Amino acid sequence: MPGRAAPAPTAPAPPPPTSGVRGGFDGYALVGTALALRGTPYRNGGTDPKSGFDCSGFTQYVFAQYGIALPRDVHDQFQKGKSIKPQDVAPGDLIFFATTEKGPSHVGIAVGSDEFVHAPSSTGVVRVERLGSSYWAPRFVGAKRVN
């Protein structure tokens, strides 16, 4: 209509924040999935929440929920992804420990704030622990970012 000004163009919306979002998946969402499995029983060779998990079955299952295929074995999972310095570990990174032999023999998922979630055989259920604890800190062998 004559006499009416055209509406002013609007600026495009800013992109959503990317903290925690890496390579197509959200590390915080992945951690949320892992934390929801707390209390699931440990089972040697276990790969699902109904029958239980061992450590690598747990990480394999959680990552699969985000379309990321991990190998079944801890040693093979350690070969995947990019090595991360301890100070650069972010939620969703894999954390590896030497518990039963030299080199990686246990794996968990970084939560943040010096915590990780894993399926330890010692207590029998998926749980959260501190990386800096007197048990885990000396056994730390590396961290990997898989995405």
Catalytic residue among 55, 95, 107, 131: 55
Distance CA 110, CA 101 (A): 22
Verify whether residue 145 is a known catalytic residue. Answer: no
Verify whether residue 106 is a known catalytic residue. Answer: yes
Residues listed for the chain:
147
Catalytic residue among 63, 106, 110, 116: 106
Verify whether residue 75 is a known catalytic residue. Answer: no
Instruction: Spell out the residues 6+ positions from residue 31 whose beta carbon is closer than 8 angstroms to its own.
Output: 91, 92, 109, 110, 111, 112, 117
Lookup: tokens for 73: 């074995």
- Quick one: DSSP state of residue 140? E
Element (H, E) at 52: strand 52-53
Which contacts of 128-134 are long-range, i.e. CB under 8 A and separated by 24 or more positions? 128/35, 128/38, 131/89, 131/95
* Buried-exposed string 4-14: b where 16+ CB fall within 10 A, e elsewhere: eeeeeeeeeee
Catalytic residue among 118, 127, 144, 145: 118
* Residues tagged active-site: 55, 106, 118
